[in-house]
Chains A and B, each alone.
Chain A
Amino acid sequence: MRLAARVTLLMPLALALARSAAAASTMAQSMDMNDAAPLGMFWLDQLEWRGLDEPNGAAWQGEGWYGGDYDKAWIRTEGESYSGRGEDARVELFWDHAVARWWNLEVGGRQDFGTGPARSWAALGVRGLAPQGVDVEATLYAGDAGRTAARLKIEYELLFTQRLVLQPELEMNVYGRADPARDIGAGVADLEVGLRLRYELRREFAPYAGLVWVRHYGATGNSLGAAGADQNEFSLAIGLRMWL
């Protein structure tokens, strides 16, 4: 993605935020009320240590937003670092627009960091609440040199008590073609299923323990051999969920 294209993509966000800010300030000044005031937050859904089998590692997943009810700047980041295997990290920035009762449209870009060459993508996705309270994030990506990718994340919450919450989660990344330099296979490149049990000391601060199963399909696309091979890991995760 060229810079110009990225700037174009973020234009609607800038316009929407400016519009809501203008409406907000007029109202705030005369009424001492403000139903369009922009707000923001950032939270780490996961900040965890993973272990049990080798290799050990750390992983995070966080999101944040700033804006009004219908238009927000939305940031999403996740990554992991395993001893002996290097790092993998991404940051995404979207214009998040409420399009339907339960669904938001996300337009923006994604940058991959970590071991191997950095990759840039344009992104288009939806985020919302599916029936029965299932949180869904589904995003399509287009990168340099005709690369394509998709990501799906679904998440649910099950309350044992008012503060003890079990959170099953599934995340899947799919790529149009292999990227051996980043050890990514074509098709389903990785699949992660997590089951985390947290205790909300406060809503803003919850330690948790969980099990994470990761299936990583290497660049060779099958289970053979050395570097770039499949990994099938089952690990214990201990971490913190918090609002910052």
Chain B
Amino acid sequence: MAVVRRISRRVFVHGIGGGALVLAAGARAAPGYAASPPAVLRGTQFDLEIGSMAVNFTGRPRSATAVNGQLPAPLLLWREGDLIRVRVRNRLSVRTSIHWHGLLLPANMDGVPGLSFDGIDPGATFTYEFRAQQSGTYWYHSHSRFQEQTGLYGAIIIEPAGGERHVVERDYVVLLSDWTDEDPEHIYATLKRDSEYFNFSKRTVGDFFAAARARGWRAALAERRVWGAARMDPTDLVDVSGYTYTYLMNGVTPAGNWSAEFRRGERIKLRFINGSSMSFFDVRIPGLALTVVAADGQDVAPVAVEEFRIGAGEVYDVLVQPPEDAPYTIFAQSMDGSGYARGTLAPHTGMRAPVPPVDPPAQLSMADMGMSAAMADMPAMARAEPAHERNAAVDMRVSAPDDSLADPGVCLRGNGRRVLSYADLHTLGGALDARAPQREIELHLTGHMQRFIWSFDGRKFSEAPPIEFQHGERLRIVLVNDSMMTHPIHLHGMWSEIESAAGEFQVRKHTVLVRPAQILRYRVSAMAAGRWAFHCHLLYHMEAGMFREVTVRPADALARAARS
């Protein structure tokens, strides 16, 4: 039975229970593949086959992009130090690719069409071969057009050569994603036509009167005037919402209720991966303390929280230890409160715990525009404007960006729970490279909400030359978010070592969330020669232009280029 109900004006929960995945029946799908749960493939040699698969998450049959007939793709278990060989065969009618998200490897093995290689043509097989130099939780996904949105994502666990730091009785991957019945090309076109199409949390006349009653007419009017002057909407938290998305946990709808078993007192590791295309999840397990022990595959000093936000591309390993023989709900609400993914930690299969209500919708504050009410009418020009910025492509600029790592972000501030922030994360063992940065590159995260243009420094990918790193150099990347959206920024092939506001090493990540009006600094060691992707991991932002090539050139080549 299809369940498509509207809990309130803002929350959409789509999805059907039971076997959400229908066995591959399409003409191109190979026979004999099992549906859920995803297979676990262990070893050093792997054969992956990318093809179309019939699925049904909402009551409507659709076609997904799957690996070995699975969505999510099989979990790959590697050992640190092993030489990994993965043969990927393309049974789609279009080109495909697999990118190993967060892994350090040779540039030609990174899986980005046009930069690393030519992509994998229909019918062709490409063999990836690289050494697993690191350990921890990672993931893989397609880097071709919208194939990630249609299902091509899976988890990777690389066991540390020296054994796991935290010995647990249970170890589960919790891969979060967003499914849509629509063609992603159509969603992209829709955003270009009406960027507010998916926002059903806009402010109404009634909201204005409520604000006036609560804070007085003058304050309510002044507040509306400031947003109106900026032509911005404080409810514009995500571009694609639960209006079209069904949020999945390990490929299972909320109604399907993905479950993991445990016995009372056992220690459980949950490896959360956000494999979604456009969603931020705020994750909690009511009744359980969450001890975060790793971020983006890298061990951190354990920190106990009640809730954490995970952006597209990010990974957190979390330990829990249920004190009761009772079910616990793993609750991952979309940042805008328009829906959620949900599963259960259960002593016995089939048990379920209450699902908490979605938090009341929050709105962006004027601080998220980088201004106080008093500054609203002043032109924002304190920081230098990026050179070559195209005015018509940039709808705001932040005069006084905030460098705090302690702000958990919009919708999480002051919600009464202990929420993780980057200030809580300390990578064990410190920075990989003790050198001080020799050079600094500042990039502004820019965009135009209404035109749905996204870019760095006001230039889309097609309009910008590559960013050049010199091989071997240690440099500092400074990101200034000149937009009202949070962006997960992902640099391929090299770690992003985030600095605290005081300039000390804080945490090592591969995907870095930058809040609206935030300035964030991280260090990069350009040890990997070649052409790399650097982009916002919101898929539709990347496709709209928020992408740059980073070229790591041998030192002499850079000098030659400078002379000529």
Contacts and interface: CB of A to CB of B under 8 A. Distances in A.
A31 B393 CA distance: 22
B461 A33 contact: yes
Nearest to B452: A69
Interface in A15-39: 23-24, 27, 30-36, 39
B545 interface: yes
B394 A39 contact: no
Contacts of A243: 193
Contacts, number: 93
Interface stretch (A50-58, A94-102, A225-233): A94-102
A83 interface: no
B87 interface: no
A31 B144 CA distance: 7
Majority SS at the chain B contact face: loop
Contact of A101 (B145, B193, B391, B545): B391
Contact of B395 (A34, A101, A159, A161): A101
Interface residues of B, number: 47
A17 to B, nearest CB: 15
A24 B463 CA distance: 11
Interface stretch (A128-136, A169-177, A180-188): A128-136
Contact of A27 (B118, B231, B461): B461
Interface string A147-179: 000000000001111100000000000000000
Contacts of A39: 189, 192-193
A129 B231 contact: yes
Contacts of A98: 392-393, 451
B113 interface: yes
B380 to A, nearest CB: 12
A33 B145 contact: yes
B1 to A, nearest CB: 24
B202 A162 contact: yes
Given A30-B113, A132-B229, A159-B202, A35 B461 contact: yes
B200 A162 contact: yes
A203 interface: yes
A33 to B, nearest CB: 6
B113 A32 contact: yes
B205 A69 contact: no
A202 to B, nearest CB: 10
Contacts of B542: 33
Contact of B145 (A30, A32, A41, A132): A32
A35 B543 contact: yes
Interface string A47-83: 0000000000000000000000110000000000000
B158 to A, nearest CB: 27
Contacts of B228: 131-133
A36 B225 contact: no
Given A41-B193, A131-B229, A158-B205, A32 B460 contact: no
B309 to A, nearest CB: 25
B8 to A, nearest CB: 11
Given A32-B97, A32-B113, A133-B231, A69 B202 contact: no
Interface in A83-105: 98-102
26 contacts: A27-B114, A27-B462, A30-B114, A31-B112, A32-B113, A32-B114, A32-B119, A33-B547, A35-B547, A36-B460, A41-B189, A69-B393, A69-B460, A98-B392, A101-B391, A101-B392, A101-B394, A101-B448, A102-B395, A129-B231, A131-B229, A132-B228, A161-B204, A162-B202, A162-B204, A203-B197
Interface of B: 9-10, 95, 97, 112-115, 118-119, 143-145, 189, 192-194, 197, 200-206, 225, 228-229, 231, 390-395, 448, 450-451, 453, 460-462, 542-545, 547
List the 3 shortest-distance A-B pairs measured between CB atoms, nearest first. A132-B228, A35-B545, A31-B114
